[in-house]
Chains A and B, each alone.
Chain A
């Protein structure tokens, strides 16, 4: 008994000791940081250069590779601009948006944040993101080498709120070896939804039990693409109602999945639902399906790594007599927040990440295909096999693209969960008919969007 107290005392002592060490460590860091700054000051005096000390906070999500690369690129920037200090704050994907929301509520957002297309309208609409137009005009943010298709995704009502850090395109992926084994021709650009059904069926039939042609997708991403092929969009321009008139469109789209599951050419939900959002667990990795629908082009890298064999990217199916559905989608953005007192400096850094060849050699297109033409041409030569596939695919998709629709309106995250729960999953599990799902979706989505009026 006494023993325990003695030990607890010891632990207390150690804790105290470590506490002092950590505190000192933190002090030292701060001091050395200050030192760095003063050095910067003194060198500045001699070498002139621009202005005073700048300290920027920058927040992003990602995994190990991205953290390492981004940190190195930041280092490079600080070397080239000794008056700037950038404090890197990074996390994984989980929790990122909670951290953002809490900091937004606390008025404490970092200067630069990584932004997702899905949340852009919410944050820009609440006046949390800075309009970068002026910085583009002043030249602080240099987008002269960037084609407009790569920039437009970050605009809302003509104001630029976010700069694309990597281009992506909607894609499907297939396993060429499985197609060969099944003796079926792999899909070519220009194939249609009917073709998809028929070669999926063939693959399923030829490869035997437990192997399916396609991992189907009745998700919103696919439906949006389908709507574009029908020359309409999910939301109206004001974001106050659904943009398409005819519920038959959704019913037809869902019917494709229903038919494919019924015919056995697409995998039933218990085969693919376990994976959730993890590309590495998709059934194609285990050769359980030959195709997976509704991907982003940069996911090929993770998928090929997990599968350990070649996987190819292909366009979405076309609609006979329909419009082009593809568009270039920003994989993620950098935005400058309204809480920032150094918006111009932040814009300069984003410009550097966009245009600097050296920095992009470090970043190595990990966030998607770079948007500046020079950088893209340069990197195309040096990326690995999966990276090359991504580059080539985005170029291919661009040929089949037309302009991207405006970012989703406020409330769209709620519409997305509605679609997932009451349309997509309900269709997979055969709980509703396509017609019922379409009517139900219209009713509930309209109610959500009406709040934007």
Chain B
């Protein structure tokens, strides 16, 4: 693509002469599609097909090992009328999402602010705080977490010292979900890094100017940090929400959905249906309902974004 073509295109876009508009739009389309082509090829080649296949499976009785049989809406009907565990999974997942996402984001932002200085040793601290996230969903973390919140774990030692009640938190139907929420909040490394990167992108002049004007740190935080960071906050909110709905490993490795289904994440239930009960048809139906639920929440966040997300490139609200 030659640069004078681009300039011409830009000029046309600028001048918005009616005649040239259509042709220049075509050029813009071409450039746009050229840029997104890596994703578009992958999407059309590897993603759409399997997604549609799973949509098809959701209307069939498919046991993975033999061919699928068309059964219409039965899977969906069963789910809504005849499956207590489906509702249980939805309830658990909603509690998990609403419990973990705000906490995790607040904590991540707090720590990111703490580390957004040029104090000595900050690099080391960042690494320390990122470590839990590196451990991720390994077998090791499952053993550690069970040990930490088990009957003779470190948490109970502290509670005992403080004179608080002790118990096996991770195997209690009342508290197991809370310990898993705590686990994901504790693995706040990824949103923290994204916040950090976002904080770095805020021009320092803004703060300098504000300080000269005598604005307090809190005012600076509210009037500069939050708006300037809002695209990144928005990103983290959307992604954490989606990932919350998809959460799997924590429950699968540590509590296996139990005790008494108290940590039965939606994805864990779906997995059990697909690979333990050989009911891929039903699992696919579950997946599409999850997509729907998750889509509604995400769409809602996108809707509200217009009112609070500020884009430098779009001149703000």
So, do A and B actually touch in the complex, CB under 8 Å? yes
Report how far A123 CA is from B64 CA in the complex, Å: 10
Find B168's partner among A97, A273, A421 (CB 8 Å cutoff). A273
Interface stretch (choices B29-37, B123-131, B170-178, B219-227): B170-178
Report if A413-B278 is in contact (Cβ < 8 Å); known contacts: A273-B168, A274-B168, A274-B170. Answer: yes
Report how far A270 CA is from B176 CA in the complex, Å: 11
Among residues 167 to 200 in chain B, which have CB atoms less than 8 Å away from a CB atom of chain A? 167-168, 170-173
Q: Which residue of B lies closest to A276 (CB)?
A: B256
Contact check, A98 vs B63: say whether CB atoms are below 8 A apart. no
Cβ–Cβ < 8 Å partners of B143 in chain A: 281
Report if A126-B260 is in contact (Cβ < 8 Å); known contacts: A269-B171, A274-B168. Answer: no
A417: interface (CB < 8 Å): yes
Cβ–Cβ < 8 Å partners of B168 in chain A: 270-271, 273-274
Question: Apart from A270-B167, A270-B168, A429-B259, what 18 extra A-B contacts exist at CB < 8 Å?
Answer: A104-B64, A105-B64, A128-B65, A269-B259, A270-B171, A273-B258, A274-B150, A274-B168, A274-B170, A281-B146, A411-B277, A414-B277, A420-B258, A421-B85, A421-B258, A426-B260, A428-B259, A429-B260
Cβ–Cβ < 8 Å partners of B41 in chain A: none
Q: Which residue of B lies closest to A101 (CB)?
A: B64
Report if A273-B171 is in contact (Cβ < 8 Å); known contacts: A104-B65, A105-B65, A126-B63. Answer: yes
Report how far A420 CA is from B85 CA in the complex, Å: 13
A28: interface (CB < 8 Å): no
A312: interface (CB < 8 Å): no
Q: Can you list 24 contacts pairing A with B, beta carbon distance less than 8 Å?
A: A97-B276, A105-B64, A122-B278, A126-B65, A127-B66, A269-B259, A270-B171, A270-B172, A271-B168, A273-B168, A273-B259, A274-B151, A274-B170, A274-B171, A276-B146, A281-B143, A411-B277, A417-B276, A425-B258, A425-B259, A428-B259, A429-B173, A429-B260, A431-B260
Report how far A37 CA is from B286 CA in the complex, Å: 49
**A-side binding surface: helix, strand, loop or mixed?**
helix
The 9 lowest CB-CB distance pairs between A and B, nearest first, are A270-B168, A126-B65, A273-B171, A414-B277, A274-B150, A101-B64, A270-B171, A274-B146, A126-B66
Contact check, B277 vs A417: say whether CB atoms are below 8 A apart. yes
**B-side binding surface: helix, strand, loop or mixed?**
loop
User: What mask results when residues 98 to 126 of chain A are scored 1 for a CB within 8 Å of chain B, else 0?
Assistant: 10010011000000000000000011001
B308: interface (CB < 8 Å): no
Which B residues are within 8 Å of any A CB, using their own CB? 63-66, 85, 139, 143, 146, 150-151, 167-168, 170-173, 256, 258-261, 272, 275-279
Among residues 257 to 311 in chain A, which have CB atoms less than 8 Å away from a CB atom of chain B? 269-271, 273-274, 276, 281
Contact check, A101 vs B272: say whether CB atoms are below 8 A apart. no
Report how far A420 CA is from B256 CA in the complex, Å: 11
User: What mask results when residues 423 to 436 of chain A are scored 1 for a CB within 8 Å of chain B, else 0?
Assistant: 00110110100000
Contact check, A417 vs B260: say whether CB atoms are below 8 A apart. no
Chain A proximity of B171: nearest CB distance (Å): 4
Report how far A114 CA is from B256 CA in the complex, Å: 24
Chain A proximity of B108: nearest CB distance (Å): 24
Chain A proximity of B62: nearest CB distance (Å): 9
User: What mask results when residues 201 to 221 of chain A are scored 1 for a CB within 8 Å of chain B, else 0?
Assistant: 000000000000000000000
Cβ–Cβ < 8 Å partners of B170 in chain A: 274
